A and B are shown apart, each in its own frame.
Chain A
Amino acid sequence: MTVEYTERGMLKYSEKLLERFRNPKHIGEMENPTVVAEEGDPQCGDMFRLYLKIEDDRIVDAKFLSFGCAANIATGDMTVELVKGKTVAEAERLQIKEIADALGGLPLIKMHCAVLSYKTLKKALAEYRKSRAGSVSPPQG
């Protein structure tokens, strides 16, 4: 048997992640978003709400709210940062790993936080696509 650290023993946040947690740039509510998506459950300890404002298939603004730990807030903020200004098609190609990498890595037990904001993004973009498919002319942002 090799020596194994406990997960708690390995829970160490990167300086980048902590900086994001302390000073998130994109947190807050948004008035008149094009789409809003929510994932998670407060019973499980994390919940994430994402607002996107999309004009001509481009994400012109994005904001989020978080009920969650430091990793939840930091990954949420980084997810928003990585898609803001991008086209919907570009945002759809975002990978979970890119979110984690941009934060200087995530402790393994916190990977689910990146998954949560990623899933919320996917859900928001899918909803946007659905609403577009249903309308004849492009909706005005």
Chain B
Amino acid sequence: MRVYLDNGTTTPVAPEVVEAMLPYFTEKFGHPVFPYSLGQEAADAVERAQEIIARSINARPEEVVFTSGATQANDMAIRGIAYANRNRGRHLITTKVENPSVLRVCERLEKEGFRVDYLPVDAEGFVDTAELEKRLSDETILVSVANVNDEIGTIEPVEEIGEILRERQRKIYLHVNAAAGYGRVEVDVKKIGADLVSLSAHKIHGPKGVGALYVAEGTPIEPVYFGYISLFNLRPGTENIPGIVGFGRAVELMMENFERDVAHMTRLRDRLISGFEEIPYTLINGPRGKKRSPANVSCSFKGLEGESMMLHLDLNGISVATGSACSTTKLEPSHVLTAIGLKAAVAHGTIRFTLSRYNTEEEIDYTLSVVPRVVEQLRRISPVKPEQL
């Protein structure tokens, strides 16, 4: 049996999405900036996708700019706001548990003379909002927080953060990286009070290589890429039209079935969690219940190493991700697991299972039959005893 449980990394493209994209490769291949009919057809397709995506986040179509993905959207948002507002202040706030596509940009800005605070989180991964209030200053121009943590599924209090920022006299922009949250929790830019939101297509059964940045009207933002011929000043370069069309179709499907899919993933998630809790010396990372992404199960199996576990599960047909050092370049455990206070030796044994609407009850039965067996097998060959950790 093949079971794909790494939907937090990427998802299979929905067949309906592929079907919608196909004509835009060979028939409707025009460049959207030219007013002849082929070009117009492409421009119309981009507009339709903007409308669909805007509706899904309670925004207006012209507030949606297409990007190569959430990584690029994060870069455009954070650097774009920093550069456009540097005369008002040079202080940014983010958290210790953001995706590297946010953290690396912030580190880059630190080298350019900006100051960045990285907020701590509690043991379940929730951002400390009291600490946020303390760090806000007359120099602060931007706060960047993901609405859902991509590793441990914590649903962050972005609405509360939005409210804190709105109460200030001085305008502080709020950027929300919603790559992990889109399609799992509601993303309403008005409710959150977000000025910028990053979205990704390939995590919601759309194609890879396309995403979007929501920029609230009137937000001062500088482009960080330069070029010519495209629909959007912020992101020059010929648009990925088939990708944008696919993104739009994926969002339509996501919105049509949102409640049903969330309920389905939540049921499967909770089955996995209850099953894993029966395995001795096992920790579930992140919160339980309503404050956890319906699609995420993060589990630390003490006494074993995550990459071995991942590859053994792969031998059994199950694809998962690991927070183990051995699967990263730096050979350090995940920064998120470290931030929630996990010991490195335990963090190394962490596996992330992430669900989609396509996972079935049978797949969960199978996974629950394989995982305890593999855990036992790896613990048997380990010189590190789980009870010592």
Contact = CB atoms under 8 A, between A and B. Distances in A.
B322 to A, nearest CB: 9
Interface stretch (B38-46, B59-67, B83-91, B341-349): B341-349
A27 B315 contact: no
A68 to B, nearest CB: 5
Contact of B307 (A38, A47, A69): A69
Given A45-B331, A69-B326, A38 B383 contact: yes
B382 A46 contact: no
A67 B343 contact: no
Given A6-B329, A43-B343, A47-B384, A67 B315 contact: no
Contacts of A7: 329
A45 B384 contact: no
Given A6-B329, A22-B315, A109-B329, A43 B345 contact: yes
Contacts of B344: 42-45
A65 B382 contact: yes
Interface in B333-357: 333, 343-345, 348
B326 A66 contact: no
B383 A21 contact: no
Interface string A27-42: 1100000000010011
B305 A68 contact: yes
A48 B308 CA distance: 14
A42 B329 contact: no
Interface residues of A, number: 31
Contacts of B304: 67
Contacts of B194: none
Interface string A42-73: 11111111000000000000000111111111
A65 B305 contact: no
Given A42-B348, A45-B348, A69 B308 contact: yes
A43 B342 CA distance: 11
B303 interface: yes
Contacts, number: 75
Interface string B321-333: 0001111110101
Contacts of B384: 42, 47, 67
Interface string B346-389: 00100000000000000000000000000000000111100001
Contacts of B382: 47, 65-67
Contacts of B307: 69-70
A45 B311 contact: no
A67 B381 CA distance: 8
A109 B305 CA distance: 17
Contacts of B303: 67
Contacts of A93: none
Interface string B288-329: 000000000000000111011001000100000000111111
Top 5 A-B pairs, shortest CB-CB distance: A69-B326, A42-B345, A69-B307, A49-B383, A65-B383
Given A45-B348, A67-B304, A70-B311, 19 more contacts: A8-B327, A11-B327, A18-B311, A27-B381, A42-B344, A42-B345, A42-B348, A42-B384, A44-B325, A44-B344, A46-B305, A47-B384, A48-B383, A49-B383, A69-B307, A70-B307, A72-B305, A72-B326, A112-B331
6 contacts: A8-B329, A22-B315, A43-B345, A66-B383, A67-B303, A67-B305
